[in-house]
């Protein structure tokens, strides 16, 4: 079970990727964002699907329709009661009320015009060879569904003439058949998935996200950044260590850095591109991202106990052979300094042996500077003193920061003098 609460998928990530025209496609985007793929093969497959959308950008650039039509056509095909009028043709022609006939004609007018727009402007113009073979089949299923309605023929009748009883009878028979064999529901599933991918592609295009490659162990990110920050500072990050200890003063940007790395790794495993110039990332099949400190009120745990429980889950997954990606922000800051140092040291040294996993740990505990090993990398977010005032650059550097911003700010506010 993945621990993804601190990614705020619904609140922060879904709006980033949501250029959808309807609630059904939006829901499908949410499903994609909540389910990291389980193999590099599946990830590459999705990358190729999204590259197919990029290759068809000119055709899809102005993809649009009247959303009201979509909602009404969807309800008509999925929920509304539709009889197979071919079973009672004469009765319908002679005895059906004017209101019933108007209802059917109105619904079919909408369906035909809506589907004809989608088919003629977009789907028949796609170069489906730009998509991987498996996804080509889904687009072909959409086109096959459209073909059942003879849209060019009926679109002419709707615009130039008027649907007659024989047309309505034939169309109800067709819908009754498509409902019965499951083709109608399959069409909507494929259609909303198509729109979800189109929306995700739009985000990739507008933000210049790139598709990363996958490595065995080493992670490398070039000019990566947090996509929700306006004018973000971009950093490079490369290491083959499986334990990274991040240090630096308060307000320097450690949590933002951790979340930016977390998003790059997580997006990579969704197959949707990452906010960076380039990236090479190991494959993981378990994620735990703890960035915002909080007490688990519902379970009655203090922040410290919540960390203990979360760490235990991560370690057990690693013991079971899972390739874990885990972020621990200010690990064990909820206990006293001596305890925190000892158990942090034990944790850092213990995590080293899980070579197929990657652990990022931020800390304020200066004594951990001396916990060194070839399998452990130390980084810090830089802070410069300008006229004895801390100036945050938000740039990542290798090593350890010795700047004590707390003391400087304490003195700057005159508290030393006030508290004498």
Confidence (pLDDT) at 338: 84
- SS3 at position 379: strand
- Based on the fold, state whether residues 143 and 198 are members of the same structural domain: yes
Confidence (pLDDT) at 146: 97
Confidence (pLDDT) at 91: 84
C-alpha 68/C-alpha 74 separation (Å) is: 10
Encode burial over 126-146: b for 16+ CB neighbours within 10 A, e otherwise: bebebbeeebbebbebbeebb
- Based on the fold, state whether residues 133 and 231 are members of the same structural domain: no
Confidence (pLDDT) at 401: 78
Confidence (pLDDT) at 415: 74
What is the domain count for the chain?
Answer: 2
- Based on the fold, state whether residues 191 and 250 are members of the same structural domain: no
Name the residue among 122, 124, 142, 110 with its Cα closest to residue 63: 122
Domain final residue, candidates 157, 189, 207: 207
One digit per residue, the tens of pLDDT, for the chain of length 420 reads 789 988 999 999 999 999 999 999 999 999 999 999 999 999 999 999 999 999 999 999 999 999 999 999 999 999 888 877 777 888 878 877 888 889 889 999 999 999 999 999 999 999 999 999 999 999 999 999 999 999 999 999 998 888 998 999 899 899 989 999 999 999 999 999 999 999 999 999 999 999 999 998 899 999 999 999 999 999 999 988 999 999 876 777 788 999 999 999 999 999 999 999 999 999 999 999 988 655 555 555 577 888 888 899 999 999 999 999 999 988 887 778 888 889 989 999 999 999 999 999 988 888 888 776 767 889 988 877 666 676 778 889 888 877 776 676 677 777 777 787
CB 173 within 8 A of CB 84: yes
- What does residue 281 show for φ and ψ, rounded to 5 degrees? -135, 140
Confidence (pLDDT) at 253: 79
**CATH classification of the domain holding 353:** 3.40.50.300
In 161-290, alpha helices (H): 165-180, 183-207, 254-270
Task: Give the count of alpha carbons within 13 A of 412, CB side only.
Answer: 11
Write the CA distances from 238 to 218, 233, 330, 381, integer angstroms.
Answer: 7, 17, 21, 15
Q: What is the pTM for the complete model shown?
A: 0.91
CB 201 within 8 A of CB 50: yes
CB 154 within 8 A of CB 167: yes
CB 246 within 8 A of CB 312: no
- Based on the fold, state whether residues 83 and 20 are members of the same structural domain: yes
- Based on the fold, state whether residues 254 and 399 are members of the same structural domain: yes
413 Cβ neighbours under 8 A, 6+ residues apart: none
Confidence (pLDDT) at 301: 58
C-alpha 170/C-alpha 99 separation (Å) is: 19
Beta bridge partners of 324: 286
In this structure, is the dihedral angle defined by the CA atoms of residues 227, 232, 236 and 240, taken in order, positive or negative? negative
CB 188 within 8 A of CB 78: yes
Confidence (pLDDT) at 294: 56
- Based on the fold, state whether residues 274 and 343 are members of the same structural domain: yes
Lateral strand order in the sheet of 213-215: 213-215, 278-282, 219-224, 235-239
Confidence (pLDDT) at 375: 76
- Based on the fold, state whether residues 248 and 164 are members of the same structural domain: no
Domain final residue, candidates 207, 226, 246: 207
Name the residue among 126, 131, 129 with its Cα closest to residue 57: 126
Confidence (pLDDT) at 117: 96
Name the residue among 218, 213, 223, 290 with its Cα closest to residue 258: 290
8 Cβ neighbours under 8 A, 6+ residues apart: none
Confidence (pLDDT) at 388: 67
Beta bridge partners of 396: 381
- Based on the fold, state whether residues 48 and 196 are members of the same structural domain: yes
Beta bridge partners of 280: 213, 220
Domain final residue, candidates 153, 183, 207: 207
- Based on the fold, state whether residues 92 and 220 are members of the same structural domain: no
- Based on the fold, state whether residues 55 and 202 are members of the same structural domain: yes
- Based on the fold, state whether residues 137 and 235 are members of the same structural domain: no
Domain that holds residue 357: 213-418
- Based on the fold, state whether residues 156 and 84 are members of the same structural domain: yes
**CATH classification of the domain holding 52:** 1.10.1420
Q: Which secondary structure element, helix H or strand E, spans residue 93, and what is its range?
A: helix 89-95
C-alpha 320/C-alpha 238 separation (Å) is: 27
CB 369 within 8 A of CB 337: no
């Amino acid at each position: 079970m993945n621990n993804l609460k601190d990614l705020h998928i619904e609140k922060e990530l879904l709006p980033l990727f949501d250029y959808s025209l309807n609630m059904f496609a939006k829901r499908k985007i949410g499903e994609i964002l909540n389910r990291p793929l389980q193999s590099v093969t599946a990830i590459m497959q999705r990358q190729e699907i999204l590259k197919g959308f990029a290759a068809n950008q000119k055709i899809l650039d102005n993809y649009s329709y009247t959303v009201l039509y979509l909602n009404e056509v969807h309800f008509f095909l999925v929920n509304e009661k539709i009889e197979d009028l071919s079973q009672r043709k004469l009765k319908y022609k002679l005895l059906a009320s004017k209101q019933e006939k108007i209802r059917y004609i109105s619904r079919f007018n909408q369906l035909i015009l809506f589907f004809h727009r989608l088919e003629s402007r977009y789907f028949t113009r796609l170069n489906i060879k730009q998509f991987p073979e498996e996804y080509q089949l889904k687009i072909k299923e959409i086109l096959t569904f459209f073909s059942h309605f003879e849209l060019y023929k009926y679109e002419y009748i709707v615009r130039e003439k008027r649907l007659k009883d024989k047309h309505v009878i034939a169309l109800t028979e067709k819908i009754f058949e498509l409902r019965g064999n499951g083709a109608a529901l399959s069409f909507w599933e494929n259609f909303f998935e198509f729109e979800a991918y189109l929306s995700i592609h739009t985000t990739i295009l507008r933000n210049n996200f790139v598709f990363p490659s996958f490595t065995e162990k080493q992670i490398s990110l070039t000019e990566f950044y947090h996509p929700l920050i306006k004018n973000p500072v971009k950093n490079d990050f490369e290491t083959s260590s499986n334990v990274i200890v991040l240090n630096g003063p308060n307000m320097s940007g450690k949590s933002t850095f951790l979340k930016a790395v977390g998003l790059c790794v997580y997006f990579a495993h969704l197959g949707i591109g990452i906010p960076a110039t380039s990236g090479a990332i190991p494959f993981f099949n378990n994620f735990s991202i703890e960035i915002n400190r909080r007490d688990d009120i519902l379970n009655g745990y203090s922040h410290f106990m919540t960390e203990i429980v979360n760490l235990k889950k991560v370690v057990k997954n690693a013991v079971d052979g899972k390739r874990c990606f885990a972020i621990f922000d200010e690990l064990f800051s909820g206990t006293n300094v001596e305890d925190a140092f000892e158990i942090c040291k034990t944790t850092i040294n213990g995590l080293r042996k899980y070579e197929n996993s990657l652990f990022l740990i931020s800390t304020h505990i200066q004594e951990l500077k001396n916990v060194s090993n070839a399998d452990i990398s130390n980084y810090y977010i830089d802070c410069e003193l300008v006229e004895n005032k801390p100036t945050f650059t938000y740039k990542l550097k290798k090593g350890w920061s010795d700047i004590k911003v707390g003391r400087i700010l304490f003195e700057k506010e005159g508290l030393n003098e006030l508290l004498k």
